[in-house]
């Protein structure tokens, strides 16, 4: 009896990957190439950033030596593909250019881990204070933005040093996609302006900083996820302006985005 021809076994098809929940970290981002290189977010040749970014619900005043106050960085992926390993970078520039890293306390809420993560602050040679989400935050692998999805990252900011001089500060949020040891600048918000006020007179203790309360009712058209982030229809947001992309050099493991944040700022000045 002739032997049956050998048939090579067929490997089962892997299940389709699902987008991460809003605000979730990406410990094993789907679609990543070998060596941790992420697929490019959007079209590098496009004139507009692929991630529309804005700062919302920010207070107009902070008190030196006072409690932390909360705002949100809202990210909208305008592309038809997920954008992986996304890191917001908050830039603070005072009129006096006198903000020192130890004068700023910045945290963001990691919805996947359900914890507030400290953001390491560095100072540039132009006097800006820079904080990259992921630097100094062990276990945070970046954000995964589903195609067409919009969500908010909660942020807490304080100026705990009572010696911080009154100032007017302009903040904005840039967005970097980390791709191995390099990355792309993929978003930038408009400016958020606020005042740092003199400290309260001594003898009037401040309440301890704790878990913040929910920040008001949802915006119409918005739904809030279990991890504290807010999803919105991406078509409700307008683009922040046409600008070409730029690649940025990022620090390797351990530094995550600190060196990249400084390079990012230098590039921003050249194109403005």
Q: Which of 49, 66, 271 is nearest to 157 (CA)?
A: 66
Structure confidence by residue, pLDDT tens digits, 213-265: 434 333 333 444 434 444 443 333 333 334 444 555 554 333 444 445 545 55
Task: Indicate the average pLDDT of the chain.
Answer: 73
Q: What CA–CA distance (Å, rounded) separates 190 from 223?
A: 24
Instruction: Give 254: exposed, middle or buried? Use CB within 10 Å, 0-12, 13-18, 19+.
Output: exposed
Residue 140: which pLDDT band, with cuts at 50, 70 and 90?
Answer: confident
pLDDT for position 215: 40
pLDDT for position 109: 95
Structure confidence by residue, pLDDT tens digits, 184-206: 889 999 999 999 999 998 865 55
30 pLDDT higher than 50: no
pLDDT for position 137: 53
């Amino acid at each position: 009896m002739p032997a049956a021809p050998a048939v090579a076994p067929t490997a089962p098809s892997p299940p389709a990957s699902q987008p991460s929940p809003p605000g979730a970290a990406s410990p094993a981002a789907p679609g990543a190439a070998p060596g941790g290189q992420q697929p490019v977010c959007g079209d590098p040749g496009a004139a507009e950033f692929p991630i529309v970014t804005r700062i919302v619900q920010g207070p107009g005043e902070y008190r030196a030596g006072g409690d932390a106050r909360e705002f949100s960085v809202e990210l909208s992926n305008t592309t038809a593909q997920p954008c992986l390993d996304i890191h917001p970078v908050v830039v603070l520039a005072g009129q006096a250019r006198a903000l020192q890293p130890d004068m700023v306390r910045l945290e963001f809420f990691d919805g996947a881990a359900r914890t507030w993560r400290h953001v390491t602050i560095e100072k540039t040679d132009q006097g800006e204070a820079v904080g990259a989400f992921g630097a100094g935050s062990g276990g945070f692998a970046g954000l995964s933005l589903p195609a067409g999805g919009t969500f908010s990252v909660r942020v807490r900011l304080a100026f705990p040093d009572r010696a911080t001089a009154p100032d007017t500060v302009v903040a904005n949020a840039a967005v970097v996609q980390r791709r191995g040891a390099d990355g792309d600048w993929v978003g930038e918000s408009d400016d958020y302006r606020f005042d740092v006020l003199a400290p309260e007179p001594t003898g009037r203790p401040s309440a301890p900083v704790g878990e913040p309360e929910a920040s008001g009712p949802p915006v119409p058209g918005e739904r809030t996820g279990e991890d504290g982030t807010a999803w919105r229809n991406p078509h409700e947001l307008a683009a922040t302006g046409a600008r070409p992309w730029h690649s940025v050099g990022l620090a390797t493991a351990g530094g995550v985005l600190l060196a990249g944040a400084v390079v990012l700022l230098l590039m921003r000045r050249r194109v403005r």
